[in-house]
Amino acid sequence: MDENKKIIHVLIAICSLFFIIVGYLTYIQLFRSRDFMANTYNRRQFKIEENTARGNIYDRNGVLLAYSEAKGGEQERIYPYGSLYSQVIGYSSKVYGKSQIEAAYNKELLGVDDLSQVFGMVSGSNLPTRKGNNLYLTVDHKLQALGGELLNGKKGAVVAMDPKTGEILALVSSPNFDPHAKELEKNWQSMVESPDAPFLCRAVQGLYAPGSTFKILITAAAIENGLENKVFDDSGSIVIDGREIRNSESKAHGKIDLKRALAVSSNVVYAQLGTELGMTKFTDITNRAGFEMGIPFDIPMSKSRFPYEKMDKTDLAEAAIGQGKILVTPLHMAMITAGIANEGVMMEPVLVKSITNSEGKSSKEIKVNRLGRIMEADVAEKIKVMMQEVVTSGTGYNAAIKGINVAGKTGTAENELSVKKKAKEHSWFVGFAPAEDPKIAVAVIVEYEGSGGDVAASIARKVMKEYLSH
Amino acid sequence: MFCLLYNHQKGPWDEYLILIVSMLLSVGLMTIYRLNESLGLKQLVWIAVGLGMFFAFYHVYIKVDKWDRFAYVYISLCAALYLVTLILGRNINGAVNWIVIGGFSFQPSELCKILFVFFLAAYFKNPDNLFLTKYIQDERLRILLNRALLMLVVYCNIGLLVLQRELGTALLLYSTFLVVLYVFSKDLKMFLINSAFIVPGVILGYFKFYHLRVRVDAWINPWADITDKGYQITQSLFAIASGGFFGTGIGMGRPDMVPAVSTDFIFSAICEEMGIFGGAAVVLLCMLFTYRGIKIVLGLKDRFKKVLGLGIVTMIGLQTFIIIGGVIKLIPLTGITLPFVSYGGSSLVTSFIALGILQVISNPRFDRVGGEADG
């Protein structure tokens, strides 16, 4: 029937119209929604936040680190310790959004993750001001404040963690910035353009050559491969494939074993060890230690780099003393040190201890996770003994605390300016204490401050001492 | 809610249509309740009233024979409704198309939609042979006069709707008229002439009527006048954009920022909280409804019923397109409800009546009702 044919045409036409709608909706969502969302007339983006007092953030002992206050119908975020936590907690600004913990735990802080909230929101338009969830960080405020004080005016990072649980006790980066929204909006442009990079959280995103602190991993590989008792001849410098590698101040240490070589941080010995181990064993230990691995963390963390595809002898020698192309973040270096303290097992770093709702009921306890084993417990035990000697009779004497056995390793990392003799090296120290039952592991880096035995080691000592004294 | 009333084995009506409508009603009711509890409860009452009307019309249609003979009644009823609106009409949301009786507001133009389709069906039962059949012997003259009168009736209807600022309904009646012309008119000329009318119509309307111009301007660039003319449509787009693909979750979005969100803009609320997947699901349900309806129409032998069925199905399908296309800025926005989903008594009752008629004509048992079968 002719009419039926035409009716089919009508059906096709109407169905096409419907498909056009679905297509157009998809187009809006894929290509236009970002513009729409960011439109200043879209009150949606601020409305939820105006109705919600963002939750408080506390340190592990309940010290208030961030809270919200209603001012003129708007919620203002206040950070009582100013810039001290700017790179840990971050900021919360209408203009520039949110960063670090404020961003990662936005939903929790606004309290919109809870299913019970959904059913209470039937008429969402006329809600009274709600209160978001509170966060308890693993950070110890006393330690963080001390770290901030010690790094004041310098560039660098201090990381302290509990080696057994992976809890971060202090995460200090310097320079930092004022995270209050008003200040942020005022200073944004100049901070973005500043060569000091105040927004860079050096502790988790700064990538540095590890320098001699890397020798603890080479020591582990050496012990695993039976080189523990070998005696080396250290004449102060060595030429490997035409590249001369020298000790600090070209000092000759004579006939020394591995333990002594670590204590005096002999580049000559470790360069030889690197070439002896070869690339396979080298990458084996760096893989176990988590290089080139995305480590899960609450705030964005850089991957530590070990970008070698092929290593010749000079590469092996340079890498073994922590130079060359190897780059680590201070947090990762602290995790490796903590791994040795924790019988070879590296723990996943945690920054948030628990989340509680506004009535104080704990809604979520963060679990402690094993990240992986770097080395066997007996190897870790041997390195621990060697690292104690670094502090008692080696380069790390500045880290020694009276009455407490400290294990550590210094590092003096060359950088783009020190190579041209325009500045001093970066100063590193990693360590933990007490050696027999480690409670705290630290990694300290201070940029352009020279030998790790001086500045970094004494900062580490003060941090460890403070933590162990209470 | 239909399941209890409906016998799955040998139902007296098409079960798929019922299921699709149930789903649309549920989505709508849920969204309205979430937006405004008391409105949600009222909607529930309206659904009950609609159901009542559904059954009433189902049975009245069977009882009353000769629906095809009442062409003049449909026109007069339509005219009466418009007259009543002009006299008693209240201005609600910029459109003078409401009658308020005892606290209940009622939109007569909704009923006119049904009457309009009935009129078209009566006309095309025996095309171009409705008016003055007995007085004019010359066939060509009669056809010409009939067509002229048909157009007069149709465009008077549409014109009155435009005057009442019911642009959506006017557009809907016009497009339904074109569809019926396309399928049932004896020659294509009539369809082409009437299609061409939209060009002068829109141009005239654009310059003559301010409220029409505003709609078009807001469609072309709503961002230029975001605080007034473009306010509604941009707020709707914000809602859709904030929903993303999967939505914010029911109760988690802020669709209350969109004006008229429980009636015209309910689709934006659905998109915000259920995502465009939820929105697409609603569109696809309407498409299935259209498909199912057209399938019924294809099987009908009687011409009156065929026109009636096609008119109803087209009207519901196009109404969906016109309002959804409007709130997503695909076409200019014209205020009209989303059938079975939007809040609104008149709209819901009319949709239920339309559904009842569609169901009764889909049943071959009542084939004799409404005119003799010609097959």
Residue pLDDT, tens place only, A348-368? 999 999 998 877 777 777 788
Q: Please state, rounded to an integer, the average pLDDT across all residues of chain A.
A: 88
- CA atoms of B252 and A115, how far apart (whole Å): 10
∠A314-A317-A323 over CA atoms, to 5°?
100
The pair of structure tokens assigned to B352 is: 């239920």
pLDDT band with cut points at 50, 70 and 90 for residue A192: confident
Whether residue A7 and residue B297 make contact (CB cut-off 8 A), yes or no, is yes
Q: How many CB pairs under 8 A join A and B?
A: 132
Interface residue B34 vs chain A (CB under 8 A):
yes
A chain contacts of residue B271, beta-carbon cutoff 8 Å:
25
Whether residue A11 and residue B290 make contact (CB cut-off 8 A), yes or no, is yes
Q: Are A338 and A155 in contact (CB under 8 A)?
A: no
By CB atoms closer than 10 A (0-12, 13-18, 19+), residue A62 is exposed
pTM: 0.59
Hey, where are the domains in chain B? Answer: 1-65+213-363, 68-208
Mutate to test the interface with A, among B38, B188, B191, B290 (most CBs of A within 10 A): B290
Contacts of A104 (CB under 8 A, 6+ apart): A298, A299
Whether residue B252 and residue A9 make contact (CB cut-off 8 A), yes or no, is no
Q: Are A442 and A160 in contact (CB under 8 A)?
A: yes
- CA atoms of A210 and A319, how far apart (whole Å): 10
Asked whether the predicted pLDDT for residue A1 surpasses 80, the reply is: no
Q: Are A380 and A409 in contact (CB under 8 A)?
A: no
Interface residue A15 vs chain B (CB under 8 A):
yes
Interface residue B181 vs chain A (CB under 8 A):
no
Q: How many CB atoms lie within 10 A of CB B90?
A: 12
The pair of structure tokens assigned to A146 is: 């001390």
Q: Which of B 89-108 lie inside 8 A of A, CB atoms?
A: none
A72-121 pLDDT, tens digit each:
767 789 999 999 999 999 988 877 778 899 888 887 887 765 444 444 44
Interface residue A239 vs chain B (CB under 8 A):
no
* Interval B85-94 mean pLDDT: 67
Q: Are A18 and B321 in contact (CB under 8 A)?
A: yes
Q: Quote the percentage of chain A above a pLDDT of 90.
A: 62
Predicted pLDDT of residue B165 = 79
- Smallest Cα distance from B185 to chain A, Å: 10
Asked whether the predicted pLDDT for residue A319 surpasses 70, the reply is: yes
Closest CA to B246 of B220, B209, B215, B278: B278
Whether residue A7 and residue B256 make contact (CB cut-off 8 A), yes or no, is no
Asked whether the predicted pLDDT for residue B375 surpasses 90, the reply is: no
* Nearest chain B residue to A48, by CA: B254
Whether residue A7 and residue B252 make contact (CB cut-off 8 A), yes or no, is no
Cα end-to-end span (Å), chain A? 94
Q: Are A74 and A153 in contact (CB under 8 A)?
A: no
A chain contacts of residue B241, beta-carbon cutoff 8 Å:
28-29, 32-34, 36-37
Query: What residue ranges define each of the domains in chain A, with the CATH number in brackets?
Result: 205-468 (3.40.710.10)
Asked whether the predicted pLDDT for residue A123 surpasses 50, the reply is: no
Closest CA to B128 of B155, B146, B145: B146
Whether the bond between A198 and the residue before it is cis, its omega within 30 degrees of 0, is no
Higher pLDDT: B276 or B249? It is B276
Interface residue B299 vs chain A (CB under 8 A):
no
Contacts of A264 (CB under 8 A, 6+ apart): A247, A251, A253, A256, A394, A395
User: Residue B318: which of A4, A14, A48 has the nearest Cβ?
Assistant: A14
**Half-sphere exposure of residue B181, counting CA atoms within 13 Å on the CB side?**
18
Asked whether the predicted pLDDT for residue A289 surpasses 70, the reply is: yes
User: Residue A123: which of B36, B182, B314 has the nearest Cβ?
Assistant: B36
**Half-sphere exposure of residue A257, counting CA atoms within 13 Å on the CB side?**
9
Alpha-carbon separation of residue A453 from A232, A436, B256 (angstroms): 23, 23, 63
The backbone torsions φ and ψ at residue A280, rounded to the nearest 5 degrees and listed phi first, read -60, -50
- Smallest Cα distance from B54 to chain A, Å: 25
* Interval B348-365 mean pLDDT: 88
- CA atoms of B371 and B363, how far apart (whole Å): 14
Closest CA to A408 of A379, A385, A439, A437: A385
- Smallest Cα distance from A69 to chain B, Å: 23
Looking at residue A28, the DSSP 8-state letter turns out to be I
The pair of structure tokens assigned to B358 is: 């569609």
Q: Please state, rounded to an integer, the average pLDDT across all residues of chain B.
A: 85
The pair of structure tokens assigned to B32 is: 């309205």
Alpha-carbon separation of residue B89 from A134, A214, A331, B78, B83 (angstroms): 56, 86, 74, 15, 9
- The amino acid occupying position B28 is G
B chain contacts of residue A24, beta-carbon cutoff 8 Å:
328, 330
Higher pLDDT: A51 or A441? It is A441
Q: Quote the percentage of chain B above a pLDDT of 70.
A: 89
ipTM comes to: 0.91
Whether residue A17 and residue B321 make contact (CB cut-off 8 A), yes or no, is yes
- CA atoms of B173 and A311, how far apart (whole Å): 79
Pair type for strands A52-53 and A130-131: parallel
- Torsion angle, CA of B320/B323/B328/B333, rounded to 10 degrees? 160
The pair of structure tokens assigned to B47 is: 């659904």
Predicted pLDDT of residue A124 = 45
Residue with tokens 């659904």: B47
- Enumerate the β-bridge partners of residue A441: A161, A432
CA A172 from chain center: how many Å? 10
Whether residue B276 and residue A25 make contact (CB cut-off 8 A), yes or no, is yes
pLDDT band with cut points at 50, 70 and 90 for residue B4: very low
Asked whether the predicted pLDDT for residue B3 surpasses 50, the reply is: no
Looking at residue A167, the DSSP 8-state letter turns out to be B
* Interval B265-294 mean pLDDT: 94
Q: How many CB atoms lie within 10 A of CB A414?
A: 16
User: Residue A14: which of B37, B245, B290 has the nearest Cβ?
Assistant: B290
* Interval A177-181 mean pLDDT: 91
- Smallest Cα distance from B88 to chain A, Å: 35
**Half-sphere exposure of residue B353, counting CA atoms within 13 Å on the CB side?**
20
Whether residue A122 and residue B34 make contact (CB cut-off 8 A), yes or no, is yes
Looking at residue B10, the DSSP 8-state letter turns out to be S
Whether residue B254 and residue A123 make contact (CB cut-off 8 A), yes or no, is no
The pair of structure tokens assigned to B122 is: 């009566």
Whether residue B321 and residue A14 make contact (CB cut-off 8 A), yes or no, is yes
Of the candidate ranges A336-345, B91-100, B293-302, the one whose mean pLDDT is the lowest: B91-100
Of the candidate ranges A36-40, A268-272, A333-337, A447-451, the one whose mean pLDDT is the lowest: A36-40
B117-128 pLDDT, tens digit each:
999 999 998 888
Q: Are A201 and A99 in contact (CB under 8 A)?
A: no
- Smallest Cα distance from B294 to chain A, Å: 7
Q: Which of B 198-237 lie inside 8 A of A, CB atoms?
A: 226-227, 234, 237
- CA atoms of A179 and A181, how far apart (whole Å): 6
B118-171 pLDDT, tens digit each:
999 999 988 888 877 777 778 888 888 889 999 999 999 998 888 887 888 999
Predicted pLDDT of residue B229 = 79
Whether residue B238 and residue A6 make contact (CB cut-off 8 A), yes or no, is no
Asked whether the predicted pLDDT for residue A443 surpasses 60, the reply is: yes
DSSP assignments along A313-351, one per residue: HHHHHHHHTT-TT-BB-HHHHHHHHHHHHTTTEEEPPB-
What are the helix (H) ranges across A124-180? 141-151
Whether residue A24 and residue B294 make contact (CB cut-off 8 A), yes or no, is no
Residue-wise burial string across A102-135, b where 16 or more C-beta atoms lie within 10 A, e elsewhere: bbbbbebbbbbbeeeeeeebeebeeeeebbbbbb
Residue B140's SS3 state is: helix
Asked whether the predicted pLDDT for residue B112 surpasses 70, the reply is: yes
Task: For chain B, list the strands marked E by DSSP.
Answer: 90-92, 95-101, 104-106
The pair of structure tokens assigned to A265 is: 């941080």
pLDDT band with cut points at 50, 70 and 90 for residue B9: very low
* Interval A245-269 mean pLDDT: 91
